[in-house]
Each structure stands twice: as structure tokens, then as C-alpha cells.
Amino acid sequence: MDAYARGVVEPALLEETIGANFARTAAAHAEREALVDVATGRRWTWAELERDVDALARGLMAAGLEKGDRVGIWSPNCAEWTIAQYATAKAGIVLVTVNPAYRTHEFAYAVNHSGLRLLIAASSFKTSDYRDMVEQVGDECPTLERTVFLDTDDWAELVEGGAAVPAEALAERMSALEPGDAINIQYTSGTTGYPKGATLSHRNILNNGYLVTELINLTEHDRLCIPVPFYHCFGMVMGNLGCTSHGATMVIPAPGFDPEATLRAIAEERCTGVYGVPTMFIAMQNHPSFPAHDLSSLRTGIMAGAVCPVEVMKRCINDMFMSEVAIAYGMTETSPVSCQTLADDDLDRRTATIGRAHPHVEVKIVDPVTWETVERGEPGEFCTRGYSVMKGYWEDPQKTAEVIDADGWMHTGDLAEMREDGYCNIVGRIKDMVIRGGENVYPREVEEFLYQHPDIEDVQVIGVPDERYGEELCAWIRMKSGAKPLDADAVRAFVDGRLAHYKIPRYVLVVEEFPMTVTGKVRKVQMREETAAKLNL
């Protein structure tokens, strides 16, 4: 049977703009709580949130921003981020979400590449001095007319300027927008060359947020804790748009991920759902204060960004009360989710798979060389097609054509298998696959096996250069608190006789942490470089 599947076509897609959908929710749930910013203690009902969103939208119009102009946001998670997301959508302005970890070179590239006219920014966060960086590259960014710093009078001035724009002008602007209009540019962390600006429409991201949360049964009675970053689809689409399309409450536990702050927010705000990448759930479950927090309000949530280790999933269900937790898989270019498990899927499907084709989406697994669809059970490149595929990379038709073929299929670069039941499993990245002496090794399989070791908290496996075999395996291991560090011999002894010899790591490095992107993805490219340097390979 071909490795091809099509998602269900229920519920129907929302054929409206983000602003129209938001207005509908605010009208239906005016007095219910919409947004909680835990760090600052501020709260909004839907009526109050719409008032602030509309005030900012009119402020942006007063600042001379037209439909299709680009406004950037460079800030960790906060209520103003959410308000800016909906205000730009209502005014038809394309929101460019700038990674808070960017430094001057990357920031200047994003500003110039997207043609930003106005930037909304935090003054600083952790080791980032955004004010200083904006000043440093100001002369290099000719399109950037104005920067609004959130913790200064700039923000109030921008909002107050909107008093000159009548509410009717905003309504008129909104009515001229189409669901297919571009509304968001997200720069994807390309491992080679410059980041590419994935351009997403109202239709792309509104529907993806709506359908992701439909599958976890979100309603206006739910309260979702969102510790994942807003600048990325996980936060702003699956989190914010998932909530606003259902009338659920958005809870921001902290500006950046903090395991204890997240646990506290869940307990104090009686959240019914929480999102995270596996490393976030590992950090929460292993935090010394974990037993002290009452998490019994939890029912659901989503784990995405990497495949979930079985032990972590068991603890989500047993210790965090997340009986309906789902696994989701996707990428920025697909708004993001293409596959998801269901609320009543068994443990096997929630840990051994990424779920099945999302509603209104097609998926197939193809031979990476011939592009022919493979049989179920065979590995190949994961491809997807449907409403969720981006409009393209901003002003880069060539790069767009490299990933979206003539028939509209997005080629993800992920290696996957489709099981007989239609559930898929990611076995690696095409570029992560290790070829050792002619044998294809998928690091994911070796990692899953090593997770079973009682002293290992987290593990990443990479291929490193080898004169004899072309590549050898190296395992980077984080030990559980108090456990004795393992060496290569101990790891080999654990694996010996249980995995094929060519899958046994030759090198083992015990580390405190892995190099990560801000979205919680491990930077294997950087790990390979560091390992080769450290071991003189």
C-alpha cells in the first residue's frame, strides 16, 4: 500500500481573516477571561483585549502603515506581543516575528530583507540589549522609520496616536482584507546560508491554530499555559490562534521558558493545557519543586518540536494528569502542523509516531532521489500539501521552488515512515542520517534506545567524520542529577547485543547541555563541529 494519506475534512476550514475571527470570539465571550500575563499580574477579558487590540491597530494606521506594510516584533513573550499580533492582523499589516536570540547581523538581515518600516521591541532581555543593537545597525537599515520600545513611553504614544483614526476607518480596512493575504513572515533558522522568510497568510495560520486545538478538544472553558516562544508558530499559531479561535484563555507564564514559573502558573491559574518541546517537559518533570505544584487541573496539551521519549510521555500522563496530551509535527513553512495524534490515542501512537495526516491536509512519503511514493513501512522524505503550505519564501522564488514542487507538495527534508495504520514516524533529517560503512543509521533510533538507561536524562546522537567508515556515531549525554558520568565503554556495554554493531556509538561525551535554537531544537550541525574539534577528527 502506498505511503499516502489524506486527513479528514471536518470541521470545515474557516474562510475568514484573523481579525474577523477574533472579533467574533470577543463578541461571543466578552466577559470571560482572554489573557493573563502572569509575570506582570495583568489580566484582560475578551472585551478589554479587543479594546486594546483595536487601539493599537488604529495607532499603527495613524503612524502611516498601509495594508501589506511590514512591522517587526523583537521581544520575549508578553501581553503586548499578543496585542501586536492581533492589531497587525486587523490592520492588514504583515507581522515579521524576529527571533529574540538574534544579534545585530541577523537582525539587520531580517529588517532589510523584509523591508520593515516599524519595529516593536523590548529594551532588553537576559543577555540581549535590543536598544543597543538597534542603534548599532540603524544606519544599515534604510527602510526602518521608527522603533517603539515596549517599556518606555513609545508604546503609549503609538497607541494614543490612534485617537486620530476613527473606528470606522479600521472597520473599512478590515473589510478590504482577504483570507489569502500574507499576514506573517517568520524567519526559519536555516542551517546553511541566510534564514529564509516563510510567508504565511490568514488562511494558513488561523486554520492551523484552529484545527490543532480542535483535535485536543479546546473550548472557551479551557485555560492554556503557553511557555513556548511567540515569535515561532508553536506560540503564536498553535497557542494564541488556537485559543482565540475557540475563546480559550491564553496564560503567559513568563517572558522566557522557566520550568518552575511554568509549573507555578499551571497550578495557580488552574490551566487545563500546557505546550512544550520534550526538553521543556523533561525540565519541568525533573525540577526539584515538581512535587510541590498541584497540576490536577491539567487535561491536555501538545508536545512538538522533537519526538517524545516514552518515559517523558508516561510522566505527562501519570504525574501531570495530561491524559489527552497530543504529539504534533510540522514546520514553519506548513503553518506549522501536518500530523497530530488524537486525544484518545494509545501510548504507542503517542510515543512511536507523530500522528496522522491533519484535517484538510495530504501527506506522502517519497524516495528522496526519484520522488516516487514509497510503500508503507519504508523510509523516505515526508511531503505535505494543502491549505497549510506557505505562500512561499519572501521575495525568493528560487528557494521556494526548491521546496514546493509543481504539484504544490512541500518537501520537508525530514525522513519518515508511514505505518500500515496511516500513522507516521520521523526517523531523522535527510542531512542528519549517518552513513557508516555503507549502512544507513538513523540517530533517532539509537537515541530512543539510550533513553532507557536509568542514569541518562537526555541524549543526542550525531555522525562525525571517520577515515575508515566515512562516519562514526557520537552520543552526547546529559546525566540525571547525582548519577555517575558514563564513558564510551559503559554505553557500549549497555547497547552490546541489543543493537546492530554499526549503531553502537564509538564516542561518548557527557555534557551539561546541548546547543539549542531558541525554539528548543538541538543544533546538531554545531554539535558535529564541536565534536570534530574536540576529538581532532
- For each of the chain's 537 residues, which pLDDT tens digit applies? 999 999 999 999 999 999 999 999 999 999 999 999 999 999 999 999 999 999 999 999 999 999 999 999 999 999 999 999 999 999 999 999 998 988 898 899 999 999 999 999 999 999 899 999 999 999 999 999 999 999 999 999 999 999 999 999 999 999 999 999 999 999 986 544 678 999 999 999 999 999 999 999 999 999 999 999 999 999 999 999 999 999 999 999 999 999 999 999 999 999 999 999 988 999 999 999 999 999 999 999 999 977 788 889 999 999 999 999 999 999 999 999 999 999 999 989 998 899 999 999 999 999 987 899 999 999 999 999 999 999 999 999 999 999 999 999 999 999 999 999 999 998 877 878 788 877 778 788 788 889 889 999 999 999 998 888 888 999 999 999 999 999 989 988 998 888 878 889 999 999 999 998 766 678 888 999 999 999 998
Task: Name the H helices within 91-220.
Answer: 104-114, 130-137, 153-160, 167-175, 202-214
Domain over 49-178 is classified CATH 3.90.650.10: no
Specify the amino acid at residue 207.
N
Contact 15, 360 (CB under 8 A): no
b/e string for 486-499 if b means 16 or more Cβ within 10 A?
beeeebeebbeeeb
Joined grid coordinates for residue 164: 486620530
Q: What's the pLDDT at 403? A: 95
d(CA 118, CA 63): 9
Give the contacts of 316 (CB within 8 A, at least 6 positions apart).
281, 285, 301, 303, 322, 325
CA angle 127, 130, 132 (to 5 degrees): 100
How far is Cα 229 from Cα 216, in angstroms, rounded to an integer?
20
Here the cell at position 99 is 527571533
Determine the residue type at 230: F
Which is it for the CA torsion 362, 365, 367, 369, positive or negative? positive
- Measure CA 17 to chain center: 22
Instruction: Say if strands 223-225 and 273-276 run parallel, antiparallel, or are unpaired.
Output: parallel
Look up residue 452 and give its three cell numbers: 532507557
Peptide bond connecting 465 to the previous residue in cis, omega within 30 degrees of 0 = no
Instruction: Spell out the domain ranges in the chain.
Output: 1-16+180-428, 49-178, 432-534
pLDDT for 191 equals 44
Same fold, 1-16+180-428 and 49-178: yes
**What letter represents residue 384's amino acid?**
T
Spacing of C-alpha 95 from chain mean position: 16
Cβ atoms of residues 62 and 162 within 8 Å: yes
- Measure the CA–CA gap between 189 and 517, rounded to whole angstroms: 8
Which CATH entry fits the domain spanning 432-534: 1.10.510.10, 3.30.390.30, 3.40.50.2300, 3.30.300.30?
3.30.300.30
Of 192, 175, 229, 195, nearest to 19 by C-alpha is 175
Cis peptide leading into residue 454 (ω within 30°)? no
Neighbours of 439 (CB within 10 A): 13
Residue owning grid cell 501519570: 318
- Contact call for residues 124 and 131 (beta carbons, < 8 A): yes
Q: What is the DSSP track for 210-228?
A: HHHHHTTT--TT-EEE--S
Beta strands in 405-483 (DSSP E): 410-418, 424-429, 434-436, 439-441, 456-466, 470-479
Residue from 533, 534, 413, 531 nearest 472 by CA: 531
Whether domain 1-16+180-428 has CATH 3.40.50.12780: yes
pLDDT given at position 518: 64
**Paired sense of beta strands 410-418 and 424-429, if any:** antiparallel
- The pLDDT assigned to 58 comes to 98
* Rounded-to-10 torsion of CA 255, 516, 196, 208: -60
| C-alpha atoms less than 13 angstroms from C-alpha of 21 in its C-beta half-sphere | 25
How far is 231 from 83, CA to CA, in rounded Å? 13
